Amino acid sequence: MRCSNCGTENKDTAKFCRTCGAKLVDEQKKVETKQKCKFCGSELDPNMKFCKYCGQPVQSNPKNPNKNKLWWKVIGVILSVFLLIGIFIAVDYIIDGKLLIFSFGGKTKEVMENNEEESISSLESSEEENVIESEEKTEKENIIENEGEIESEKDDKTNETTGAETANTEEDTSGSTSEDTKVDVYNTIFQDNGYVKDITAGDLVELYDYSQLQTIAKADVEPSEEDVQATIDEQRKLFATTKQVTDRAVEDGDIICIDFTGKIDGVEFDGGKSEDYVLDPNDDNFIDGFYEQIIGHTPSEESFDIQVTFPDPYEPNEELSGKDATFTIVLKYIKENELPEFNDAFVQDTLGASVSAEEYRQQTKESLQSDNVLEYLYDKVISESTVDNIPSTITDALRAIVDDTSMQEAAAVGMELEEFYEQVDPDGEERETLCLEQAKIILVVQAIAEKEGIEATDDNVLDYFGSEDTRDGYVEYFGKGYSYSGALPILTMQKLAENVTIE
């Protein structure tokens, strides 16, 4: 298997490059496997680690899956709640679990790998580090349970309260100072009603005749039973319990709990021993062949040995580079999630609904179909409308927003903005293309809003933001016009949907 980072040929079973340590990906499998985002339901390209519409990690489980997919898919207004580190450089907007993304690259991970001493293996993790990792996962789950709270970028100022040395390092690297708000960056071109200032969009846009969309074929918007069940299953996963399984063999993808002791030439080495280590193959980056040799074993008090070879070079510990090691493994248990049964009791007692399970299923299907209608309308009017002359005031403002969030991404990998751009988008073409695409969306949506007499108001944006506190928090931090412009796409599509008949 060829490493996409350095070009080295590796064994077909290898997970990490033996030369540079980068994680290897089977390109053929990526082409053959087509996934859908668990958050917004959008189809994912094979190389995506983050959804390009909603920004969420591909493997994540949302609290409200498929809820108003248009909220996610509308690139709309780009509010940044910073540090989405992954495949895409993003300007993202999180509102009550609804995150809109504006991305322009596929190289952030490469930058991180080239500029950070990133561990390829978790073998150097101590027992304490493993506990900390488990606690961090628990904290992430708690965050999911509290969706709707603003994850404010005011966390940039936590250096004073946490004394975190790493935070100080990142701030020094970025060369920027903490800000109380982002109004001066984000709200420069927007009026309080969400429109772009001093522009009549209808004069600039050749708008698609959306009166043709009064009838939509049922086949184009009706969710499948699989989609409905997947949505329900995501709700069930939120209330899953875990159990320790000891009566079957480990299968590929299982999360396991192990004790391990590593030796080289019969001598234990630092960082090569741990007890009660919970190994998740989706998250942990163990050296090639470690996890694979545990597959097929059944939990038992009896130990067994596996043989591995450390990559050469091995950056976390150069002394281990290229050396053969023997690990003694005690497989304690397999960790499984057990989903609650979907029945009346679950719907009424756990989800708090006042309907039966079958009625809840029907409501879920109707909700998904409504979302699909909005998405269908949005895709059609955006793709079929044209804008020949985009005002520079809009693209300039969007470039400033991209620069602002990219500066934070650069700081996260220890780089200056210019150096960061040189690696991820040296000629600026991707940034420019996306700014133009975003500007078109803003103008088309505003043109519809002008034609239909729609403006964002304090009241009609509440459904978008979820609560007055959330709305007011965004207004304070990003500015009213910018924040409210994010509600215009959903407001306009809801208006168009009023005249739609499904046949």
Domains of the chain (ranges; CATH) run: 1-33 (no CATH), 34-229+358-502 (no CATH), 243-338 (3.10.50.40)
pLDDT of residue 409: 83
- The model's confidence at residue 313, banded by pLDDT at 50, 70 and 90, is confident
pLDDT of residue 322: 92
Judge whether residue 205 has pLDDT over 80.
yes
pLDDT of residue 94: 28
Judge whether residue 5 has pLDDT over 90.
no
Mean pLDDT for the stretch of residues 364-375 = 94
Q: How far apart are CA 436 and CA 37, in angstroms?
A: 25
Taking Cα atoms as reference points, which of 499, 4, 441 lies closest to residue 194?
441
Taking Cα atoms as reference points, which of 49, 36, 39 lies closest to residue 84?
49
Q: Residue 216: which H helix or E strand, with range?
A: strand 215-216
Which residues 6+ apart lie within 8 Å of 146 measured at CB?
Answer: none
pLDDT of residue 444: 97
pLDDT of residue 413: 79
pLDDT tens-digit profile of 63-114? 333 334 444 344 333 333 322 222 233 333 322 333 232 333 333 334 444 4
Side-chain half-sphere CA neighbours of 132 within 13 A? 5
Q: How far apart are CA 454 and CA 472, in angstroms?
A: 21
Mean pLDDT for the stretch of residues 40-68 = 43
Strand 386-387, strand 324-338: pairing: unpaired
**How far is the first Cα of the chain from the last one, in angstroms, to the nearest whole number?**
50
Lookup result for tokens 């903005």: 417
Inter-residue contact 63 to 147 (CB < 8 Å): yes
Taking Cα atoms as reference points, which of 255, 252, 249, 290 lies closest to residue 15?
290
pLDDT of residue 61: 32
Residue 369 DSSP SS3:
helix
Mean pLDDT for the stretch of residues 224-240 = 94
Q: How far apart are CA 405 and CA 81, in angstroms?
A: 9
Mean pLDDT check: name the lowest of 9-13, 115-119, 184-188, 381-385.
115-119
Judge whether residue 212 has pLDDT over 50.
yes
Mean pLDDT check: name the lowest of 47-51, 150-154, 203-207, 476-480.
150-154
- The model's confidence at residue 500, banded by pLDDT at 50, 70 and 90, is very high
> Packing angle between helix 357-384 and helix 488-497, nearest 10 degrees?
100
- The model's confidence at residue 305, banded by pLDDT at 50, 70 and 90, is very high
- The model's confidence at residue 495, banded by pLDDT at 50, 70 and 90, is very high
pLDDT of residue 36: 52
Judge whether residue 18 has pLDDT over 70.
no
Tokens of 436: 């133009």
Our CA angle for 220, 224, 230, nearest 5°, is 130
Q: How far apart are CA 344 and CA 324, in angstroms?
A: 56
pLDDT of residue 328: 96
Strands (E), 40-180: 43-44, 90-95, 98-103
CA distances from 270 to 286, 363, 445 (A): 16, 56, 59
Q: How far apart are CA 126 and CA 102, in angstroms?
A: 38
Task: Rank 27-36, 137-146, 481-490 by mean pLDDT and report only the highest.
Answer: 481-490
pLDDT of residue 32: 33
pLDDT of residue 308: 94
Inter-residue contact 271 to 125 (CB < 8 Å): yes
Inter-residue contact 86 to 109 (CB < 8 Å): yes
pTM: 0.58
More confident residue, 214 or 25: 214
Q: How far apart are CA 79 and CA 92, in angstroms?
A: 5
Mean pLDDT for the stretch of residues 278-284 = 85
Judge whether residue 392 has pLDDT over 50.
yes
Percent pLDDT > 90 in the chain is 53
Contacts 24+ apart (CB under 8 A), 436-439: 436/390, 436/395, 437/75, 438/75, 438/78, 438/102, 438/398, 439/387, 439/390, 439/391, 439/394, 439/395, 439/398
